[in-house]
Amino acid sequence: MAKRFGGRFSPGMQQGNLNQAAPAPIRHRLAGRPKYVTIAAVPFLFGAFFQDPAGMAASLAAFGTIASAMWMTGEGLAAEAAYEVRRVARRPAIPRKLFGSVLTGLGLGLGAAEPGSLAGAGLIGATGMVLHWLAFGTDPMRDKGMAGVDEFQQDRAQKMIEEGEAHLAQMRDAIRRIGDRWLEARVDRFAGTVEELFDRVRSNPGDLSAARRYMGVYLMGARDATVKFADLYRRTQDPETRASYETFLNDLEKDFSAKSQHLLEGDRADLDIEISVLRDRLAREGVRASEPAALEAPRTETARFLDGLLNPDRDKAR
């Protein structure tokens, strides 16, 4: 299906918005490797049709298991990429790469299994698991940036964020039906601004009450407006309708950006207050900030010679 191209000189393009690129999608640097492993397992699939029924079943099971392992590994890489880009994140609930490693070993063992050679098949399967670990690494096993965070508040914030991400996904799906790549990039840019607000709430779940309306009501309204615009614009191709929707997105994006900045400034103000209170407490306890101690003069002849080379003004002063 052909898609409309939105370029610099296309109708309806605004020069001011072209300089603001949409955020790049999150992608793990190893995301392309699983497909090559699946391709490498294709001989199991083709060779199955030249064997007896038992051998055919084993070869088909080997290919299916390895393909499933690579799908699971790809999901694990995507979860790891999302974990790495966030300042605050929980470890993945399911260790997908670990399961992918086990399935890889099982698939290779099934493909190599022959009567009387179960030990050799087990050795090949174990080798496959080790090679999977070397190629793809392990799953994140620890929460990141969660020290001192209220788990109950964090769970509430995460649930709200997941609902907001669902609204963004529905907006993308609605715009995708139009087939306009410029509008798709515009919605992606708005989603990037919303993700900044999500990051603020992840970092400080206490901001959820201040951002709840933006993450719930406003995003739901943006989703509904996007669905209605997509249905109408796909039928009419009215430039005024498009301009109105773009203006709506611009205003909403400014509001979300301003809210993120406001939350950040609030966090800074809270930090300044905490530092001020701590200084006052230290002052009441009689603790004062001391001046940094002066460096001792070099004592040996070699040290004095080097000090003279590095600080000639000191010798002149003497």
pLDDT tens digit sequence for 21-31: 445 567 778 88
Query: What is the number of structural domains in the chain?
Result: 2
> 205 is in which domain, residue-wise?
149-284
Does any domain span residue 6?
Answer: no
Among the listed ranges 150-154, 263-267, 306-310, which one has the minimum average pLDDT value?
Answer: 306-310
Is the separation of the CB atoms in 75 and 94 below 8 Å?
no
Distance of CA 233 to the CA centre of its chain: 32
Q: Taking 80 as the threshold, does the pLDDT of residue 217 lie above it?
A: yes
Q: How far apart are CA 226 and CA 13, in angstroms?
A: 19
Does any domain span residue 76?
Answer: yes
pLDDT confidence band for 130 (50 / 70 / 90):
very high
Q: How far apart are CA 265 and CA 254, in angstroms?
A: 16
- Comparing CA positions, the residue from 251, 249, 237, 248 lying closest to residue 11 is 237
Does any domain span residue 200?
Answer: yes
Does any domain span residue 223?
Answer: yes
Q: Taking 80 as the threshold, does the pLDDT of residue 210 lie above it?
A: no
Q: How far apart are CA 90 and CA 83, in angstroms?
A: 7
Q: Taking 70 as the threshold, does the pLDDT of residue 1 lie above it?
A: no
The pLDDT tens digits of the residues spanning 57-79 come to: 988 999 999 999 999 999 999 88
Q: How far apart are CA 175 and CA 191, in angstroms?
A: 13
Q: How far apart are CA 66 and CA 72, in angstroms?
A: 10
Whole-number pLDDT of residue 64: 93
* Domain match, 129 and 165 both: no
Does any domain span residue 308?
Answer: no
Does any domain span residue 302?
Answer: no
* Domain match, 132 and 155 both: no
Q: How far apart are CA 20 and CA 2, in angstroms?
A: 25
Q: Taking 60 as the threshold, does the pLDDT of residue 267 lie above it?
A: no
Task: Return the CA Rg of the chain.
Answer: 30
Distance of CA 78 to the CA centre of its chain: 8
- Comparing CA positions, the residue from 166, 300, 178, 297 lying closest to residue 232 is 178
Query: Helix-strand-coil percent breakdown of the chain, rounded to 5?
Result: 75, 0, 25
Does any domain span residue 27?
Answer: no
* Domain match, 131 and 97 both: yes
* Domain match, 161 and 217 both: yes
Threshold 0.85, pTM exceeds: no
Is the separation of the CB atoms in 136 and 97 below 8 Å?
yes
* Domain match, 50 and 78 both: yes
* Domain match, 68 and 188 both: no
